Each structure stands twice: as C-alpha cells, then as structure tokens.
C-alpha cells in the first residue's frame, strides 16, 4: 500500500470508492428494470425482441438521469465510516431515483397532459421518447444541483431538496406551456403535443433542447441561495425567484443567438413544417451552449 499512499490513496478511501460504485451499479440496474415495471412490460422483451427504439431511448434517459443524480450524491470527500458512506450514498441515490420517477409522472400528467406518453412509447414513437428522455435528464440535472447545494443527511435536507425539486417541475411545465403557445401561434392553433404524438422528431429535438437548457440554468440559482436547513419558505421563494430570472435571461439570449447563428433561416418553417432535424439539432446545441455559458458566468 506504500505506493498508493504516496498518491493519497488509503485503504479507507478504496473501501469508500468500492461502496459508492457498488451502490451506483445496483441503482442503475434497478432503474432499467423499473422502466419495464412502470410501463407494465418486460424490458428485455421490449429492448431485444421487439427492438422498440422508443423504449430504449426512454430507458436511456432514465439511466443517464440516475447517473447524473448519483454524481451529486458523491461529494468526493471521505465519510466518517463505511456505514455512514453507505447510508448517505443509498439515501441520496434512492431519493434521487424516486424524484426522477415522480418528475416523469408529473411531466406526463401535467406537461404532456394531452397524450398518453407510455402508450406512445410502447407503439415506438421516437418523438415522444426523446422528450421523455430529455425530461428525465433535465430533472436529474436539477436534482444534482440541489444535492450539491444542500448539506448533511437530515430531514431538513430532504425537505429543502424536495422544495427545489417542486419549483423545478413548475418551471418545466411553464416552459412547456410557453413553447406550446408559440407553436400554436405559428401553426394556426395546432397542438405541439399532437405533433409529438404524430412523430414530429424535429419539434421533439428542439423542445428537448429547451428543457435541458432550463435545467442547466437552474443550477445557477444554487450559487446565490444560501442553504439554511430550517428556512423552508425562504428557500422555496429563493429558488422560485432565481429560476424565473434565469429562465427569462436564458430565453432572451437564446432568441438573440439563434437569430445570429441561424441568420436568414426561417426556423418555424424549417423545423415545424419541413421537419428539418438538422436545424432542430443546431437549435438544441445553441440552447444548451447558452445555458452552459450563462451558468458558468453566474458561478
């Protein structure tokens, strides 16, 4: 062990890393099977026998989301004991998994209230699956930022995490409603959700970009809100205020940059009417890039 100790690697650190990796692998495996349980199907059958690409995309979003959440549970600091590390990692991991599932449920029932998301995915609807995966990853990014913001493992910590999570879900719904109104305005009151149900992949890609960007910008709020375990109301108001401010700033910057980067291109016509996946992907990249830059500046 002398060689490893020269690099600050001790037997205790190796033990903690082993515990974290073991719990992470167990939770990631559980998430894959929970996907099948949630849709009341055999995940192996859907993935390898039916070759349901939509189910695979949805599952990928859930697994990636849980992985993102677990990075927030791993602080990089050694715990006081192996037991404490196992309890902390398991508690944050399971709580994060439950919040991802709850977030997807709320997104299905409130944000995508006009369609049956699960039925669409089982039918192989790639567009709906893309939005579902993006929603899971966006929720995970938000949960991770809150886990990094909160401290210790107490009831107050979980209340604070859930409060920020609730605000984030509200913002995702408001974002979806705003995008729906914009879509209807440009397409003779047509429904964006109906377009997704009909397999409009370009619209799904663009909307996914907006959700991911909002989640990334949500992280900036954690740099301005001081974590106070029992300040339930002020924590809630703080996340709400900064989330609204960040969403407004993000929307304005996105509009400006898209006009410059995609100058002389009719985005509505190309994406919404001609189903131009290439331009929709560029829009997604711009949205995420602006959010990353904005978050870095705020940090």
**Segment 72-125, tens digit of pLDDT:** 777 545 556 777 778 878 887 888 888 888 888 888 889 999 999 989 999 999
Instruction: Spell out a b/e string for 172-203, using b for 16 or more CB atoms within 10 Å of the CB, else e.
Output: bbebbeebbeebeeeeeeeebbebbbebbbbb
pLDDT tier for residue 176 given thresholds of 50, 70 and 90: very high
CB 39 within 8 A of CB 122: yes
Task: Enter the DSSP assignment of 219.
Answer: G
On average, the pLDDT of the chain sits at 85
CA–CA separation, 198 and 278 (whole Å): 19
Cα–Cα–Cα angle for 143, 137, 106, rounded to 5 degrees = 75
Quick one: pLDDT at residue 132?
A: 93
* Tokens representing residue 265 in the block: 């291109």
What's the first-to-final CA gap in the chain, in angstroms? 39
CA–CA separation, 267 and 236 (whole Å): 37
Three-class secondary structure of residue 263 per DSSP: coil
Question: pLDDT per residue over 9-34, tens digit each?
Answer: 667 777 778 888 888 888 888 888 88
- Closest C-alpha to 202, from 288, 117, 127, 124: 127
CB 143 within 8 A of CB 70: no
CA–CA separation, 163 and 168 (whole Å): 9
CB 212 within 8 A of CB 250: no
CA–CA separation, 164 and 103 (whole Å): 12
Question: From residue 89, how far is each of 1, 49, 81, 108, 156 by CA, in Å?
Answer: 26, 35, 12, 28, 17
Question: pLDDT per residue over 130-169, tens digit each?
Answer: 999 999 999 889 888 887 777 666 777 778 778 888 888 8
- pLDDT, average across residues 194-212: 95
CA–CA separation, 80 and 86 (whole Å): 11
């Amino acid at each position: 062990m002398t060689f490893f100790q020269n690099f600050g690697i001790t037997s205790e650190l190796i033990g903690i890393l082993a515990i974290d990796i073991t719990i992470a692998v167990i939770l990631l495996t559980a998430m894959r099977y929970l996907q099948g349980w949630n849709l009341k199907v055999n995940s192996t059958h859907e993935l390898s026998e039916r070759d349901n690409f939509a189910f695979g995309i949805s599952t990928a979003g859930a697994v990636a989301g849980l992985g993102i959440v677990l990075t927030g549970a791993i602080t990089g600091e050694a715990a006081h004991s192996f037991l404490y590390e196992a309890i902390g990692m398991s508690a944050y991991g399971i709580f994060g998994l439950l919040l991802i599932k709850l977030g997807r449920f709320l997104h299905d029932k409130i944000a995508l209230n006009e369609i049956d998301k699960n039925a669409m995915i089982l039918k192989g609807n790639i567009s709906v699956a893309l939005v579902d995966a993006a929603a899971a990853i966006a929720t995970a990014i938000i949960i991770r930022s809150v886990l990094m913001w909160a401290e210790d493992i107490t009831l107050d910590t979980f209340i604070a995490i859930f409060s920020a999570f609730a605000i984030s879900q509200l913002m995702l719904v408001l974002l979806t409603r705003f995008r729906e109104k914009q879509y209807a305005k440009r397409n003779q009151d047509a429904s964006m959700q109906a377009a997704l149900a009909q397999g409009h992949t370009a619209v799904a890609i663009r909307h996914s970009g907006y959700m991911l960007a909002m989640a990334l910008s949500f992280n900036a709020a954690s740099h301005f809100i001081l974590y106070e375990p029992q300040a339930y109301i002020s924590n809630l108001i703080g996340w709400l205020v900064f989330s609204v401010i960040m969403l407004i700033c993000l929307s304005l910057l996105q509009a400006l940059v898209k006009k410059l980067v995609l100058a002389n291109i009719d985005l509505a016509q190309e994406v919404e009417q001609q189903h131009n996946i290439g331009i929709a992907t560029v829009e997604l990249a711009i949205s995420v890039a602006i959010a990353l830059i904005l978050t870095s500046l705020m940090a």
